[in-house]
Structure formats: structure tokens, C-alpha cells
Structure 1
């Protein structure tokens, strides 16, 4: 791949614009943020498609919750939307065409352009009503882990959250160390490896579960898939499992304070990215039951079902605040539609490098509700 010298960002974006609106576009992706700026969306992907209504430029944007797709008519509509995207402060553009590929990386002085070989168009762009999957439903992975429609939907929802959290593959460390804490039967663990390795990422993935029989079962599945050199499993608790480091920490459906154990372990490792989908939230609910709030706030916890739902919100609010206190940018998003499971929140965190800092608002919240979060205790937090 050839690298062009630095040029002005305006000139580089003009070249990108010509490719995006040209006849040979295969696919283009904008992602990342320039220093001190934030685009309106996390990622934008463009590609030509052929629909019953004719040729269109399909735009998929990801805001951290769910993708949004629009199909733009050629001409003024497509050009106007492309110009809006180019005005966003994305850190990089990767454009693939039938004649070559171009990667734009924004710098302090302007931009650097990397040029590569041509990319063959996908076989067919027509897809009226066709649903895209990050892992094809016919992939051999599902022959090993099982895969009814509900499981495939959950896998796809998880992978979209993972894709929206991580930067482009070329910006990831090599190898990328991923640890799944409380992996259980590991079908999402295997899905994460299948997806990331399919994106060209050099992945080393470790699944942790307290049960030795799960380690043996999952190890056998990794061997059956031919992944045993890159996907390994250990038996142990989340807090004490023999794992030294992680770039990405997954904790999916870890029950009650097991999610706190996973978040604390991730912070101890200085993990760059964290995805946690909590399950039940019993700890704070018990504390609210033993010491209910006074005055008007007592109505929030008077009834058991309302107390449990409020405890869910309060628990994850505190977890997000504690992660921010320890140098992470945090989002709490919907993991999968509530029709699939009511436990559908996901905490996504990205390490910013900021030093741990006091948070008076969090301290006030904890004092007001008379709660002592398990995560704060694990982190030896003064609160």
C-alpha cells in the first residue's frame, strides 16, 4: 500500500467526495473522532445497492444504540448527504472502489492518504427486504454452537454493539486480547472470535467460567472449530481467574454482583474497551429494602416490582459513574429488543487515559439513597 504525503484536509476530503459519488464505489466507512471533536454518529457506512426503485446509495449510521439505514437517490439527494458526512469531524475515511482503495487519516497538519489495490464488488447489490447479518446464518459456526432464529438475533445484536464500540481493525492492537468473564456456554465468545477474525483482526480470546465442565466443553468446541490456538478457556472465578491482561473485556449476563467483579477486573487490567450486559440487580435492591428512602422518594421503592426496576436503573447508573470516575467514557445502550429479554441494557466503556477523579455528584447520589455499591468496594473507592 502506497502512502501519500500529508496534504490539506480540504483537498483530501474533496478526493474522497469524488470517489463516494463516483460510479465505481464498492464501500466506504467513516469512523473515529478528531482530537477534541465529536461527530454526530459513531460510524457511517456507504455502499451502492440496487432496489426495486432503482440504484441507490445506501447509508448506514451507528449512534451507539442501533443502526439507521437510508437509501439515497442518485444526484442531489446523495450529494447533499455526502457533503453533510464530510463536514463531520471523523478521524478516518476508508473508501474501496473498483479501481483502488483509499484511506484518509486526519492529522494535526491536515491529512495523510494511503492508497491500495482495487476491491472487487460484492456479488450482487440488490437486497430489497434482505436482512444483513454480521455472521451469515449459514455459517458453520452455528453447526457447532447451535443457532435458532432467537440465538442468531442475539448474536447479531451483540456483534453490532461490539462493532460500534471498537475502532476500525487497522487501529486495533496486534494481537487483540479479548477476555469473556463468566462466559458460560460461550456461544457469544465464539461469535466474537468469528466476527473479529473475519475482519482481519489478530485475536487472542480467553473465556473464563467458574465451572470446570464448561471449560472442558468449550475447549472441545474450540478444537472442533480449529480455533484452539487462539481461543482458550480457563476455570475460575471472575475475580481470581488466571488471566494477566485484556484489551477488551466482555461480561454478558453476569448475574448481580458478578458484573461488578468483571468491571473491577477490567479496570485493574486497564482494559481499553468494556462491554457488560448485566443480568439481575439484587444487591442494591436488597439495600433499598432494608433501608428505604424517606419522604416522597419512598414511593419509588414501596412496591416490590417498582423497587426492583428502580434498583436496575440505579445500579447501572452508579456503575457507569464509577467507570467514568476511573477514566472511561461510558454509554448505557439497549443490547437487544426487549421482546427478546427484559434484561437488555449494555454498558459500553472506552478508556480515555484520564486519571481517576472525584465525582461529587456520585457521592451525593450514594449518600442520598444510603447505598454501598459492590463495585465501589472492589475499587477501594472512598465512597
Structure 2
């Protein structure tokens, strides 16, 4: 990691962006301390069209992506210069030889980190390329998990689970990269690997995929721990880890009682049922985990409380009918969880986990620890108005030993 004047750092980024023979992919994201760019995120790569080689730029706003292709030479240079003039807080640029990460510091300098890529990386310029898979179908992990057959083809009956894994890996990839670029998540080493814990790991579909992707594709040293209440899951996952040659530990026990030798860097809690998600979030806060990804499952606790608590005027119609009450309970529960995490010093994004065509349980809470608590009274006001007692609020109020 080196700190240098911002213009010098951006000049390095510019050179890589315009290197059409070397650029694999680049991402601009985040904001600077004093200003925000007009786009949430931009992605760049070179593509070969009938009209020749063009720089493809995809700009993401709050709801959709906008794609534009710029001819090599002056048009591409002008487009790149316009993007670099925007106040993005982070740039990640992958070339065939290296990965460059640039973060704009509070003082307006560039903190630059470069990592050599072992064996190089392929440069894909096809405009009509098939959707890039973060883990290919024939990766051994999918055969071991029973998602793929012996020939490395995803079974038709398991395609929905494979899509869920892919969607999760895309979120994990962006979240880890952004958290590292902004200094919220440390860069692991072989001596001190990234510590990932999956609370309520079940049969480990997402657990093993996360380990495989981070270690094999992102080339990050990873130490994995899975926790599940079922001893059968512990034994099955431990056997699978040995077969795949993965260094991992699996523990049978409740989320609330799980003991780790060291606090984790990344906490996963994916489809933990009802208040088990609250247990996982409380553990993550207690560990001061830098990055948390939680996909809640059912929301019975708040739904049951709404059946007996008087609704504040004029909102009784929201909970009068059972199906609307259940859906409102889902929204209210995750809203309160997000507020509590923000109060605990996390930046929280509530996003779609996987397309609702594949599963109705498609909300994901992404929390990045900034250490800056939000002292808003929104949580207290909502709880008082609806007369409810959220599990996570009670857990975080307990004294920590």
C-alpha cells in the first residue's frame, strides 16, 4: 500500500483503463468525503464489435444499468477522462498481470494497493459473451454438493440453487472488494487468513461456494468456520471439506452459544429461520465483525406480536388481513434490524438477494462496520408505535461478557 497525490494515482488508473490489450475489468464505486458521483457504480471493459474495438462502460443508477460503447482512441479517452473527473471514492482495475485498488483518503490523496496475478488472467472481449460465471458449472465443489453430475453439468432440478449461489457470490464479491478498498475490511495474508463464519450453515451450499470463490478465484487466504445446530450437518460438511481439500472447521451448536478462537472478519447468516437471524446479527455485532451478510428467512416473531398488539392509527388496515399482516411483518422486522445495526455503527444496505422468481425469501442485509453509530430515534419510535419487542433489540441490550 502506498499513498500518493490523487492525480498520480488516477493517472495509473487511466493508463490501465485505456490498455485495450491488458484490461480485464474495472469498477468505479463509492463517494468521496466532500462529493458524490452521479452514478452508484460504473464498470468498464473492452469489447470487439463489428465496427471495431470499443470501450464498454456500464453505468448503474439506483434502479438500472445504462450501457454505452466508445470507439478506441479519442472517444474512449474522452469517456475515461470524464469518469475519472467524477468524485468516485474507489477504483478497482484488473489487468492480465495485476489488480490495482485505489481509495481516495479523507485528505484527498490516493491510497494505492497493487497485487500481482499469478498465472495471468484471460481478457474476454466478446460483446455477446455468455453470462460470466463466478464459479463454472464444472467446478468440483458443485459435484461434491450434488448440484452437478459427474460430467460437471448442473442438474436441471438443481438449477435454481445454482443461480442462488451465483447471485450470492456476486454480492459477496462486490462487498468484500468494496470493504477492502475503503479500509473497513483488512487484507488477509497466508499467516493471517480472512476469517469467515457461516452461522446456520446447513448443508453448506453457500458456505463452500464462498470459500471456493474467495480462495480460488479471488486468491485470498480464507479460514472457514460453519455453525449449525445439527450434528449431522457438522459431520457431513467436515467430510465434504476433507474431500475437497478445504481447511475448514464445523461446529454443532446454537448460534448464540458458538465459540470461536478469534473474532471473524466476515459473518454470513443465510436463511436462518425467524429469530435465528437476530441471534446471528447480535453475535456479529458482539464480535465487531467488519462485514455481515444476512438473508432472513421467516419472520414469525413480529407477525405473532402484531396479531395481539393494537395497531397505531391510521394503520390498522395493514394488519387486519392475515396475508397483508405477514408481509408487513417481514418488512417491519428487517427495517428494525437495519436500524439497530446502524445504531451499532454499521452502514446497512437492504437489497434483493436472488430474483423473486427463484425464491420468495430474497431480501439480504449487507452491513459494513464503520464505527459511526446512528443515534436516530427512529427505532424507538417504531417499536413504541407498534407495541412490539424485537428479538434483536433485546439481544443487543443485554450486557456483553
Bin the TM-score by the shorter chain.
0.7 to 0.9
Conserved 8 A contact 2:318-2:325: yes
**Cα separation, partners in 2 of 1:19 and 1:196, compared to 1, 3 Å:** closer
Residues 71/129 of structure 1: CA separation in 2 closer, same or farther (3 Å cut) = farther
1:161 CA drift (Å): 1.1
Paired residues of 2:225 and 2:250 also in contact (CA < 8 A):
yes
- The structure-2 alpha-carbon separation of the partners of 1:241 and 1:63, relative to structure 1 and needing over 3 Å to count, comes to farther
Give the alignment's TM-score, normalised by structure 1: 0.87
Residue by residue over 1:267-301, the C-alpha shift from the partner in whole angstroms, topping out at 9 and shown as x without a partner, is: 00000011110011111111110123154311001
Compute the TM-score of the two structures, normalised by the length of structure 2.
Answer: 0.83
2:48–2:125 contact (8 Å) kept in structure 1: yes
- Name which of 243, 246, 269 aligns with 2:264: 246
Superposition pairs of residues 114-153 of structure 1, within 5 angstroms: 120=120, 122=122, 124-147=124-147, 148-153=158-163
| Aligned residue runs from structure 1 range 120-269, under 5 A | 120=120, 122=122, 124-147=124-147, 148-167=158-177, 172-174=186-188, 175-198=193-216, 199-227=218-246, 229=247, 231-244=248-261, 245-269=263-287
Distance 1:338-1:102 versus aligned 2 partners, 3 A rule: closer
The match for 2:151 is none
Q: Which range is displaced more, 135-144 or 34-43?
A: 34-43
Q: Equivalents in 1 of 2:253, 2:347: separation in Å? A: 29
Contiguous gaps of at least 5 residues in structure 1: none
Alignment partners' CA distance in 1, 2:199 and 2:62: 22
Pair 1:328 & 2:338 matched: no
Per-residue CA deviations over 1:69-95 (Å, capped at 9, x if unaligned) read 735131565444423421233344344
Q: Give the structure 2 partner of residue 16 of structure 1.
A: 13
The CA deviation string for residues 294-314 of structure 1, in whole angstroms up to 9 with x for no partner, is 543110011000000011100
2:46–2:54: 8 Å Cα contact kept in structure 1?
yes
Partner residue, 1:351:
369
Distance 1:131 1:302, change over 3 A: same
Q: Secondary structure at the match of 1:216?
A: helix
Work out the CA distance in 1 between the residues paired with 2:224 and 2:61: 27
Q: What runs of 5+ residues in structure 2 fail to find an aligned partner?
A: 148-157
Contact 1:338 1:344 in 2 (8 A): yes
Aligned residue pairs: how many?
Answer: 375
Q: The residue matched to 1:329 in structure 2 has which SS?
A: strand
CA 218–51 in structure 1, closer or farther in 2 if over 3 Å, else same: farther
Using the alignment, how far apart are the partners of 1:115 and 1:296 within structure 2? 56
How far apart, in 2, do the equivalents of 1:142 and 1:64 lie? 33
Q: What's the secondary structure of 1:133's corresponding residue?
A: coil
**What does residue 88 of structure 1 align with?**
86
**Residue 17 of structure 1: how far off its partner (Å):** 2.4
Q: For the residues of structure 1 that align with 2:99 and 2:350, how far apart are their CA atoms?
A: 35
